[in-house]
Chains A and B, each alone.
Chain A
Amino acid sequence: MIRKKILMLGDFAVGKTSLVRHYIDNTFDDVYLTTIGVKVSKKMLAVNHVELELLIWDIEGETPSKKIPKAYFKGASGAIIVCDASRKETVEGIREHIGDLLAFNREAKYVIAYNKSDLLSAQQKETLSLSENTFLTSAKDGSQIDILFTTLAKEILL
């Protein structure tokens, strides 16, 4: 079995914890509760006949006044960069989070989640130009969450 550490990165209140909770427990609660520090959850996966244990680091969201402790980045093989598709400022923060990740590990892989897609109209979704490995997710209705994590897992094992 292979163990890999992945990070959930993104601004506060973009839904990182909700994505993890949906992926691990298949539950959702729309009450916002701030994450502080880090909570590590485990998920077993079989990727291309390889047994993989993902150690998912749900990290507190970054705010202008509170940066993510650098120790959290050490040893990470990859990250899910999460933004709230309905909040432009969090989408603009994606680039910085990718930069933070790669500053610690140039080889780290990442995928991007435009979360809370359930809040977007069909027209708004159409106008989004999403690059490869970017997913329109919703922790509320569960859309594209499994593929988000498995895509990252495959990238890491490449």
Chain B
Amino acid sequence: MRNVQIILNAILSKNIFEYILVDRKLHVISASQGVRKYVNAMPKEGDDVLEYLPELVGNEEEIKQIFVEKYCLYTLESVYKNNDYVNISVEYCDQNTAIILLHNITAITRAQQNLLQYSNESTLLYNTLQKVVDSQNTMLFVTNAEKIEFANKKFLNFFHAENIEEIQKKELKLYQKLDASLQNYRELFVSLKEGEKYLKLGKDIFIVQATQIEAAHTLFTLTKITDFPHEMQLDPLTGLYRKDYLNEMVEKSLQEKRNFALVVMDLDNFKQINDTYGHLTGDKVLKAFVMLLKQHIRKTDLLVRWGGDEFLLFLEDGSPENAILKIENIRKLIDEYHFETIDHLSCSFGLSYTKENDSVDSLLQRADKALYEAKIKGKNKVLFKEE
């Protein structure tokens, strides 16, 4: 009875508790007036309490056990009753009486409901967004500076992972596959500002792009390009097209009777760079050289890698003189540029310009001859071959 007295005192002082006293058969003995608002009617003596509290149905035997066990056996939380929420508990009173307490918890439950609503809606939105990114044909992943924190299904599948935890265990350092000097994804993001990069994973080549989401996170996308015929001709080290693609462009331009220059360029003494500093440094020099050139040619120009340290440039210009001037500027730029590790690099250039009845081969032949002469005459030169 001690507990009951405490509770009854609470009932008297606040309107948060109501009670129904029941006998061993769960018939009503009496009830507090406030019960009415929960059960729509005032329970009368002798009524079956289950008529008013159907929540107790199925637990009759368990509730009756409290007369045997003599302690609180049954509690039911957060029950909705006529716009209110109550906790229902049944407690032993004496050998013929049990008290059913209805504890009004509406205020706190409504607050919990608001939180739960917000949480559930957020989860639904998250799941929807997850489906959207999973449906993309591009691999997406989000990183902080050091590690991958989110990835879409396409990315997980590519790396044979079920979830992001498995990806994190693999410690994929994709930035190092792009450039061995990069230390983390933050540096990769910065390097991508200079231009798009190409990542070779197995047989596939991907364009890598990055977007800063907020201060701590960056979204990277890997778009597979090897499915497309032209992109199959990409050089994985520099991301430049190979010569075949240039051939197509030159042939098309010749058919359309357009005037343009074809430039063959060859890095001077590149073999010595490889021999002195190693091939890794050689690769970095090639990348830096390409980056420098790309910054100083137009989007309509086409730079391709012919092989090794030889490159070709398709330059659509109004006259051979303009083309020579432009290439001379590029030569100077390279000559004056400070390359990491090796410091200085120079390049020789051979030019040809379209004339009547030209073909890819004839243009290339003249440009190649001009390059040969530039090398003979001491390198770091631009020479033009008219015939």
B57 close to A37 (CB less than 8 A):
no
- Kindly state whether residue B80 has any CB partner on chain A within 8 Å: yes
Q: Which of A20-46 contact B (CB under 8 A)?
A: 32-34, 36-40, 42
| Nearest CB of A to B365, in Å | 61
State A76–B57 Cα separation when bound (angstroms): 9
Residues of chain A lying within 8 A (CB to CB) of residue B120: 12-13, 32, 34, 61, 63
- Kindly state whether residue B127 has any CB partner on chain A within 8 Å: yes
- Kindly state whether residue B248 has any CB partner on chain A within 8 Å: no
- Kindly state whether residue B325 has any CB partner on chain A within 8 Å: no
If A63-B119, A63-B120 touch, whether A75 touches B59 (CB-CB below 8 Å) is yes
A37 close to B85 (CB less than 8 A):
yes
If A55-B57, A69-B77 touch, whether A37 touches B109 (CB-CB below 8 Å) is yes
Return the CB mask of B265-306 against A: 1 if under 8 Å, else 0: 000000000000000000000000000000000000000000
- Kindly state whether residue B62 has any CB partner on chain A within 8 Å: yes
Say what secondary structure dominates the interface of chain B.
helix
Return the CB mask of B45-67 against A: 1 if under 8 Å, else 0: 00000100011011100100000
If A13-B120, A66-B116, A71-B76 touch, whether A40 touches B109 (CB-CB below 8 Å) is no
Residues of chain A lying within 8 A (CB to CB) of residue B59: 74-75
A63 close to B57 (CB less than 8 A):
no
Q: Which of B59-113 contact A (CB under 8 A)?
A: 59, 62, 75-80, 85, 109, 112-113
Residues of chain B lying within 8 A (CB to CB) of residue A32: 120-121, 124
- Kindly state whether residue A5 has any CB partner on chain B within 8 Å: yes
A36 close to B112 (CB less than 8 A):
yes
- Kindly state whether residue A137 has any CB partner on chain B within 8 Å: no
Number of A-B contacts (CB under 8 A): 70
| Nearest CB of A to B90, in Å | 12
If A39-B80, A71-B75, A89-B127 touch, whether A5 touches B116 (CB-CB below 8 Å) is no
Return the CB mask of B338-382 against A: 1 if under 8 Å, else 0: 000000000000000000000000000000000000000000000
B79 close to A38 (CB less than 8 A):
yes
Q: Which residue of chain B has its CB nearest to the CB of A75?
A: B58
State A71–B112 Cα separation when bound (angstroms): 19
State A39–B80 Cα separation when bound (angstroms): 5
| Nearest CB of A to B86, in Å | 9
| Nearest CB of B to A132, in Å | 26
Residues of chain B lying within 8 A (CB to CB) of residue A3: 50, 54, 57
- Kindly state whether residue B123 has any CB partner on chain A within 8 Å: yes
- Kindly state whether residue B212 has any CB partner on chain A within 8 Å: no
How many A residues, CB 8 Å from partner?
Answer: 29
- Kindly state whether residue B32 has any CB partner on chain A within 8 Å: no
- Kindly state whether residue A87 has any CB partner on chain B within 8 Å: yes
State A4–B119 Cα separation when bound (angstroms): 33
A38 close to B78 (CB less than 8 A):
yes
B58 close to A76 (CB less than 8 A):
yes
From B50, B109, B112, name the one whose CB has the most chain A CB atoms within 10 angstroms. B112
Q: Which residue of chain A has its CB nearest to the CB of B88?
A: A71
Residues of chain A lying within 8 A (CB to CB) of residue B135: none
Q: Which of A100-145 contact B (CB under 8 A)?
A: none
Residues of chain A lying within 8 A (CB to CB) of residue B127: 87, 89
| Nearest CB of B to A81, in Å | 18
If A33-B117, A60-B116, A74-B62 touch, whether A42 touches B54 (CB-CB below 8 Å) is yes
Residues of chain A lying within 8 A (CB to CB) of residue B124: 13, 32
| Nearest CB of A to B317, in Å | 57
If A40-B55, A42-B54 touch, whether A34 touches B117 (CB-CB below 8 Å) is yes
State A61–B262 Cα separation when bound (angstroms): 70
B85 close to A34 (CB less than 8 A):
no
Residues of chain A lying within 8 A (CB to CB) of residue B62: 74-75
State A34–B121 Cα separation when bound (angstroms): 9
Q: Which residue of chain B has its CB nearest to the CB of A6?
A: B58
Residues of chain A lying within 8 A (CB to CB) of residue B112: 36
| Nearest CB of B to A141, in Å | 22
Return the CB mask of B120-139 against A: 1 if under 8 Å, else 0: 11011001000000000000
Task: List the 5 closest A-B pairs by CB distance, nearest first.
Answer: A75-B58, A37-B78, A39-B80, A5-B58, A34-B117
14 extra interface residue pairs, beta carbon distance < 8 Å, beyond A12-B123, A37-B77, A61-B120:
A3-B54, A3-B57, A12-B120, A32-B121, A33-B117, A34-B113, A37-B80, A38-B78, A40-B79, A60-B78, A60-B116, A63-B123, A75-B58, A76-B58
